Chain A
Amino acid sequence: MKGKNLLKKNEFYIVIIIAVLACIIQAISGQFFTSNNLVDLLRSMIVPGMMAAGLFMVIVSGNIDVSFPYTAMLCMFAVTKWFSVINYQGPVFLAFLIAGLIGLVLGLLNGVLAAWLKLPTLIITLGTCTIFLGITQGVLQSSVISVLPAPMAKMAATNLFSVVNGETGLGSSMPVSILFLIAIYLIVGFIMKYTMLGRGIYAVGGDPVAAERAGFNVNFIRIFVFTFMGVVGGITGITQVTVSGMCQINFFDGYEMTIIAAVVLGGANIAGGSGTVIGTFLGVLLMKMISNNLILLGIPTNWSKFMTGILIIAGVSMSAYKSVLAKRRVASNILEDGHKEEA
């Protein structure tokens, strides 16, 4: 019974793909299971991973958000610029708090519009993301900030630990913000699995009318997922600054697509209602493994998007194929005597 359940789980297949891919990379380059490569991999997962966790909730609720990279960008520039201007010297925590609050407002805007207009959320967030970009470019007049305010620069220079690869002499450091990544996955995991709110998110994604009739506050749930995504977006903006040590307008270029792809690759149904936060994490991991390590396989990095695309299509067709197969099989055995008869 246990083994059968395992085979049904999407995560199981992603883990296998990840393991196989890791072995291939290791076999060809001998560089995958090295301390610096693993730290680099985790480090590169922080920002996309956090965004994916937020987006996972949005997608499970049956909605979509393409504005979060722009939320992150806006929060990043707004806070960094402001702190530079006032020459802020206090704790860095405040930067995250303010960015989170700005993100909250932007996410709330998405959520309220979604609940109120009842239009497809792709269209709503396509609209708002243009507004966010406009504010960043027009009002903040930002494209690059290379000197960070002191507290943020200090966080950028602080690492949890560093490793050096004895063979190659290459080193890597683990930023403190990896803790944010862990925290967000724990929070999202808890909400989705152990709160009625989280179950409501699944319910709305499965059948919004049934959810409303059962007594869930469907509008609240919609507003919540977008607001949460906004807060995560805001915090991620500052995280990105402290990971890379600067602000750049093109940090999040194309993120809307790659993050959606990672979540779907992780087994979440794009139409809503299903998926797990662990799957999402694995989806991001797989994605990053490909884009970071192709070079180790001797494939030029220019091809990483291509490979990712192939992987997404393969992953999605596999789960589609599985569900078609399941539909064409009779699940429980009717031929046995005593089927469904109670004892």
Chain B
Amino acid sequence: MSEILLQAKQISKHFGGVTALDRVDLTIKKGEIHCLMGENGCGKSTLIKIISGFYRPDGGSITFEGKEYDRLSIAESIGLGIQVIYQDMSIFPNLTVAENIAINNELYNRRKLVNWKAVKSIAKEALDHIGIELPLEAVVGELSVADKQLIAIARAILNNSKLIIMDEPTSALTRKEVDKLFKVIRQLQQEGISTLFVSHKLDEVFEIADQFTVFRNGKLVVADSAKNINDEQFVYYMTGRKLEEVAFTPKKIDHDRAILKVENLGLTNGFANISFEIHPGEILGITGLLGSGRTELAKTLFGLYSATEGHIYIDGREVQIRTPMDAIRHKIAYVPEDRLTEGLFLTQSIENNMIVSNIDRLKTGKKTVDYEKGHEDSLAWVKNLGIKLNELKDGIQTLSGGNQQKVVLGKWLETEPRVLILNGPTVGVDIAAKFDIHAYLRTLAEKMNLAILLISDDISEVLNNCNRILIIKNGRIVSEHVNTELDQHRLQELVTGSKEETA
């Protein structure tokens, strides 16, 4: 167990004027489950990309199984038995599930020809391995983020690799899939395969880690055994702050007035008989398993699908929401779960991404846009949300994953909505920023009297921030609860669906 597999020494990396990594070290032993932790933009993904050969380090060295390298190429890294699940998943939207999964195996074995039978059986086996069922012939671009993440996991888990690096592999997954993944990771550990795991979900890290390393601002803060540390210390190492969250209870709610009211809403194949209302100043939570219809519901409220039955009311008046334009006109904002494909213009600058949803508000006279005001607003949001960036005019791709997520959030908050729909708003966001975002949402609800619909897998997020919680299953609301009546354990049970509970 104590044999060292990989040792990265004094690794540095700069992007223009930004120091992403400043002489950091990382040591992974054989068969170890190692967690790499730290705030958004602290350099985790950068180090991973250096180990995988995607970036060339500016300094330092990597030793793998006793052999020292100044830098690795992608081919070398794969050849050594290093497999990576990238934060953005890096899968092929145009190819089928089967091919996406089998491709790493084929490349690892340096195949020249494709054996389509083998592709299918490799894919099937890989999915069985993690206990997931997906249609092998489906084109990946049409699947949900969670499915994409499962595909990225399935293809990285080759039995003959030595180190599997997972950069936030669970951000879109619910507890059920995470449990399966952890079982696989432990099984790999039995076979002597090491795992480097990145996650912002503390409970996951504590559950799985043998060893951990924490970065802050591109520097190594601490590296230690997981046994030697508790939650609180951990948060302090990562953020330099002490964070404590209490359950949200809105001051007084005007039960006669509903900003958003939904009656018997239905969507073919998606959901049925959904009814609820959100009063001013309320944060309503919706939670459920993957594929329970929660995302479809959110998309319908924002006009990305059009409901096949039922009614939607805003301020007591019935409205038709058939396109996102309709939704925006009614001051509904939607923060999507898949920030990469639905939330951002990936080739544009950070600033353009932030002002795009506000073009209407920034109009001066008839046709021109007040860029100066846009710039000021954007700067304000960067500060409010603590987005770590170099300059606003940089490309959105230069931001770390968590900071991209914050940009999506900021751009919608900037529209000054009345109804705010958030689908996994703090996915991939570090704990300090998450704390700040939660505080911000509460302020919005209380001070601005917004109606907020918060869809999330994160049990503690829902429990702490939503005064009412709906549980959705197979496209139907199965029960409604008040947050103060529940604890984490009970809510988790309700979601995963212990059988004795019926609505």
Contact = CB atoms under 8 A, between A and B. Distances in A.
- A and B pair up: yes
Contact of B271 (A210, A215, A335, A336): A335
B475 A335 contact: yes
B113 A196 contact: yes
A257 B278 CA distance: 55
Interface stretch (A19-27, A44-52, A198-206, A248-256): A198-206
A198 B116 CA distance: 13
Task: Please report whether the interface of chain B is mostly helix, strand, loop or mixed according to DSSP.
Answer: loop
B95 A203 contact: yes
Given A195-B114, A199-B114, A331-B142, A209 B272 contact: no
Interface string A2-36: 00010000000000000000000000000000000
B304 A328 contact: yes
A326 B142 CA distance: 9
A210 B95 CA distance: 12
A210 B268 contact: no
A196 B269 contact: no
B272 A213 contact: no
A90 B229 CA distance: 84
A12 B255 CA distance: 56
Interface string A331-343: 1111111011010
Most buried by A among B93, B103, B306: B103
A334 B114 contact: no
B292 A328 contact: no
B52 A213 contact: yes
Contact of B92 (A194, A198, A203, A326): A203
B267 A199 contact: no
A213 B269 contact: no
A195 B90 contact: no
A306 B90 CA distance: 42
Given A213-B54, A215-B74, A333 B269 contact: yes
Interface in B258-276: 267-272
A342 B129 CA distance: 13
A154 interface: no
B92 A207 contact: yes
Interface in B42-71: 52, 54
A335 B269 contact: yes
Contacts of A340: 133, 290-291
A331 B268 CA distance: 10
Interface residues of B, number: 46
Contacts of B304: 327-328
Contacts of B74: 212-213, 215
Contacts of A207: 90-94
A329 B268 contact: yes
A324 to B, nearest CB: 11
Given A196-B111, A330-B305, A333-B269, A215 B75 contact: yes
B95 A206 contact: yes
A212 B103 CA distance: 12
Contacts of A211: 92
B132 interface: yes
Interface string A244-277: 0000000000000000000000000100011000
A216 B90 CA distance: 13
A214 B474 contact: no
Contact of A194 (B52, B113, B306): B113
B285 interface: no
Given A206-B95, A335-B269, A193 B84 contact: no
Interface string B305-323: 1100000000000000000
| Closest 5 A/B residue pairs (Cβ) | A273-B94, A206-B94, A210-B90, A330-B269, A206-B92
22 contacts: A195-B113, A199-B106, A202-B94, A203-B95, A203-B103, A207-B92, A207-B94, A210-B90, A212-B54, A213-B54, A213-B84, A213-B90, A215-B75, A217-B75, A269-B94, A274-B94, A330-B268, A331-B269, A333-B269, A334-B270, A335-B269, A339-B474
Given A329-B268, A336-B474, A340-B290, 14 more contacts: A194-B113, A199-B95, A202-B94, A203-B103, A212-B54, A273-B92, A273-B93, A274-B94, A326-B142, A328-B305, A330-B270, A335-B476, A339-B474, A342-B132
Interface of B: 52, 54, 74-75, 78, 84, 86, 90-95, 99, 103-104, 106-108, 111-114, 131-133, 135, 137, 142, 267-272, 290-293, 296, 304-306, 474-476
